[in-house]
Amino acid sequence: MERVRRGELYKISRDVIGVANLDLLRENANLNGDSFSGKMSRIGSEYAKWMASHFVLPAELMRAVKDGYVYVHDLDQYALGTTNCIFIPFNRLLERGFNTGNGSVRPPQSIMTAMALVAIIFQSQQNSQFGGVSGSKIDWDLAPYVGKSFRRHFRKGVAYLEEAAQRTSTAGILPDTELYIDNEQLKETYPRTYRYAYNETVNEVKQAAESLIHNLNTMSSRAGGQIPFTSLNYGMCTSTEGRLVSHALLDATMRGLGGGETPIFPQHIFQCKQGVNQREGDPNYDLFLKAVECSSRRLYPNFVNVDASFNLAYYSPDDPDTIIATMGCRTRTIADRFGRNRLSGKGNLSFNTINLVRLGIEHGILEGKRDLPDLTHFFKQLDHYMAIAVEGLIHRYELQADQPAKASDFMMREGVWEGGEVLSPEDKVRDLIKHGTLALGFIGLAECLKALTGQHHGEDETSHRLGFEIIRHMRQFCDEASERYNLNISLFATPAEGLSGKFTKLDRHTFGVIKGVTDREYYTNSFHIPVYHPMAAYRKIRSEAPFHELCNAGAISYVELDGNARQNTVAFREVVQFALQQNIGYFSVNHPVDRCPACNYEGIIGSACPGCGASEADGNFQRLRRVTGYLTGNYTERFNSAKQAEVRDRVKHL
C-alpha cells in the first residue's frame, strides 16, 4: 500500500481530490474544477496524460516534452485518436435533418426551430471532439428559415386580417416563391398583412436569437459544468433575412442573459469586408457599427479581416463558405492542399508548441556566456525540435486516421466532417481527415528575443527584425513539412492557457530567475508584445501585424483599452479599422467588464460599486476578462495563477 501511495497515479488523484494543486484544477478556465464532475474529469484527464506519456508518445517526443522544449496540447486525448475542432455545415444539417443517435430531427420550418436546432447540433458535435465548434457563416445558413417564418406569418395574417377577400386572387394560392420579405408588389397589394408578417418575423428572429444565446450558455453538457466551446461567424450576408439574423444575434448579446450578465458563449466573430460593411453606404455598415457597440459592452464580437491578403486569396463572392472565419480562439483552417479551400466540414486535428524561450536562453547573451547571440546554433536547435514536434503530429495523425467512423459517431454519420455520411461504422476516416490541419505552435517570442539580444521586439527594431526572421523560418519549415508528408501542416500562434506557466516553471528551475525572461509567472503568448510593456495601441498593432501572414494556422492581436469602452465607441471603431488596414487577420479589443450582482451595474468597478455602493465584501463582483481568445466567468476564480498574473500585469494601450 505504501508503494502505491508513492506512485504517480496516487499523487494525481490526491492533488485533485484534496485540492492540493489549484493550477491543476484551473488548467481550463471554463471548467469548474471544484465541482464533483470537474474533479472526476480532471482525474481521468491526468490518468490519460500519464498513459499517453508512458506508453504512446514517441520516445524522442517524450524527452523533448520532459526537457521543456515541446508541449503536446490535449495530451489526454492523444491515445484515443480524437481530433480537435471543426466548422459545422449547418446549412446541410438543417436542410436535410439529422439524427443525434437518440432520435431523428426533421428539417426546421421556422427560424425559431432552426436556432433551437443549432444549439442541439453544437451540443451533439462537441462530444465528438475535444476542442471548439464553430459556424463559419451562420447568417447565410439561417437566412432561409427567416424566409420560412415570414411565409408562415403572411399566410396566417391573410386569414386573420381577411385582406385577401378584397383581392381578385388570394394569398392562399400564392406560391412560396412570391412570398418573401423584399417583394415590393406583395407589400403594395397586402399592406396590412405584409406589415403584420414582417413585424412577427422580426420578433420571432429576436426571440430565437435570445433562445440560442441562453441555450449555449446553460447547456452544461461536458464534465465540470462546461458548456460547448462555440463560435459564430457572421456579418457578410446582405439579404434582408441574413441581416435580420445578424442584428438579432448582436441585440441578444447586448441584452445579456437572464440577469443582464455578459454571455460567455458563443464567441462572436464579425467578418469585415470593404464594400460590404466597412464604410458609410456599404449594405452592412450598420451591422459593423452595431458589432462595435456590442464589443464595447460585451467584449464580443472579435473582428476577422476578409480583406487581409492571405484571406482574400481564398474568397469567392459566389461561395459564402470561402469567407474567412475562425474558431473563437484564433484557429484558421481554410487552406487545403487537396483542394477543399473552404471552411465547413473540416477543422484542426491537433497541435504541438515549441518553447522558444528555452532556446533563446541557451543561445543568447543574458546567461553571460557570450557577447553576441549564437544564432547559428539557435536555428539548428530550433529545426531539431520542430522536426520532433512535427513527427509527433504525424504520429498522432496516424492514430487519428486509423479510427473507425463510429468512434466519432455524430460527426461522421451526419456528415459534420464532410464525406463522413457515406462511411460505414467500421470504415477508417483517413481519407476524410487529411483535409484537416496539423499545427505547429510557438510561445514566448518576446522572452526568447530578450534572452537572445537583451531586448524584445517591442523595445528594439533590430530585435523585431530577428523575431520576424525566426517566425518566417518556422513558417518555411512548416511549408516544407507539408510537401514532405503531403499533409496540411501549418504555423500556429499558440493560445497558451494551461501552458503559459508550465514552461516558465521548468525554465526557472533549470536556469534560475532571469530578469525580463523567467522573472514572471508566465510567458507571453505567441508573437505578442508583452502585456506589461507600455506601448501606444497603433504602434502595437503595427509591430504585431507582419506576423499574422506567417501564422497560417491562426493568430490574433489585441489592444487594451483604458476606461469604459462603451463611452467611446468612435475610438473603438477607429482602432479596429486601423488594425484591419494593417493586414491583421484577426483582432479584438480588451477592456474590463465588471458587474455588481446586487444592482446589476456593469462597467468598471473598483473597491465599491458606482451603482449601489456595495463593496467586494458585500458580494463578489463578477470581473470578466478574456483568456486565450475566450471569455470566462470571474477570472479571479477560474484563471490559473499564471493567467491571473498576466491579467494583473496588463497595461493600457489606448
Q: How confident is the model at residue 637 (pLDDT cuts 50, 70, 90)?
A: low
Instruction: Specify burial of residue 2 (Cβ count, 10 A radius: 0-12, 13-18, 19+).
Output: exposed
Q: Report d(CA 437, CA 433) in Å as an integer.
A: 8
Can you give the pTM of this predicted structure? 0.94
Amino acid identity, residue 13? S
In contact, 555 and 526? CB cutoff 8 Å: yes
Of 39-53, 487-501, 564-578, highest mean pLDDT: 564-578
pLDDT-based confidence at 21, cuts 50/70/90?
low
Q: Are 452 and 373 in contact (CB under 8 A)?
A: yes
Q: What is the pLDDT of residue 499?
A: 80
> Which residue, 69, 71, 115, is CA-closest to 94?
115
- pLDDT > 90 in the chain, percent: 75
Q: Which grid coordinates are listed for 553? A: 494556422
Task: Identify the pLDDT of residue 602.
Answer: 87
Among the listed residues 257, 246, 254, the one whose alpha carbon sits nearest the alpha carbon of residue 299 = 254
For 434-467, the pLDDT digits (tens) are 999 999 999 999 999 999 999 999 999 999 999 9
| Percent with pLDDT over 70 in the chain | 90
> Would you state the pLDDT for residue 268?
98
Q: DSSP state, 345? A: T
CB 410 within 8 Å of CB 125: yes
Q: Please give the Cα distance from 197 to 216 (Å, whole number).
A: 28
Nearest by Cα to 125 from 75, 90, 73, 74 = 90
Report pLDDT for 466. 99
Report all structural domains of the chain as residue ranges with CATH numbers, in order of start. Answer: 1-59 (no CATH), 68-84+337-555 (3.20.70.20), 592-653 (no CATH)
Q: How far apart are CA 335 and CA 487, in angstroms?
A: 11
Binned at pLDDT 50, 70 and 90, residue 225 comes out as: low
The least confident of 9-23, 128-142, 608-622 is 9-23
Q: What is the pLDDT confidence band of residue 306, given thresholds at 50, 70 and 90?
A: very high
Q: What is the pLDDT of residues 553-567, one digit of tens each?
A: 999 999 999 878 888
Report whether pLDDT(33) > 70.
Answer: no
Query: Sign (positive/negative) of CA torsion 456, 461, 467, 470?
Result: negative
**CA gyration radius, the chain:** 26
Exposed / middle / buried, residue 465 (Cβ in 10 Å: 0-12, 13-18, 19+): exposed
State the pLDDT at residue 25.
Answer: 47
The answer on pLDDT for 616 being more than 90 is no
The three-state DSSP-derived secondary structure of 448-502 is HHHHHHCCCCCCCHHHHHHHHHHHHHHHHHHHHHHHHHCCEEEEEECCCCCCCCH
Is the confidence at residue 581, as pLDDT, over 90?
A: yes
pLDDT of residue 497: 67
Q: What is the mean pLDDT of residues 97-109?
A: 96
What is the model's pLDDT at position 4? 47
**Helix, strand, or coil (residue 268):** strand
Q: Which pLDDT tens digit goes with each residue over 381-439? A: 999 999 999 999 999 999 999 999 999 999 999 999 999 999 999 999 999 999 999 99
Q: What DSSP designation does 10 have? A: H
**Residues β-bridged to residue 560:** 590
- 220 or 215, which is more confident? 215
Beta strands in 311-454 (DSSP E): 348-355, 437-443
**Mean pLDDT (whole number) for 90-103:** 96
Residue 172 has pLDDT above 60, yes or no: no
Can you tell me the mean pLDDT for 275-287?
A: 99
Query: Is 5's pLDDT higher than 70?
Result: no
- Compute the average pLDDT of residues 504-516: 96
Q: State mean pLDDT over 212-226.
A: 83
pLDDT tens digit sequence for 474-485: 999 999 999 999
The pLDDT value given to residue 181 = 98
The three-state secondary structure class of 619 is coil
On average, the pLDDT of the chain sits at 92
Are 447 and 516 spatial neighbours (Cβ–Cβ below 8 Å)? yes
Query: Which of helix, strand or coil describes residue 267?
Result: strand
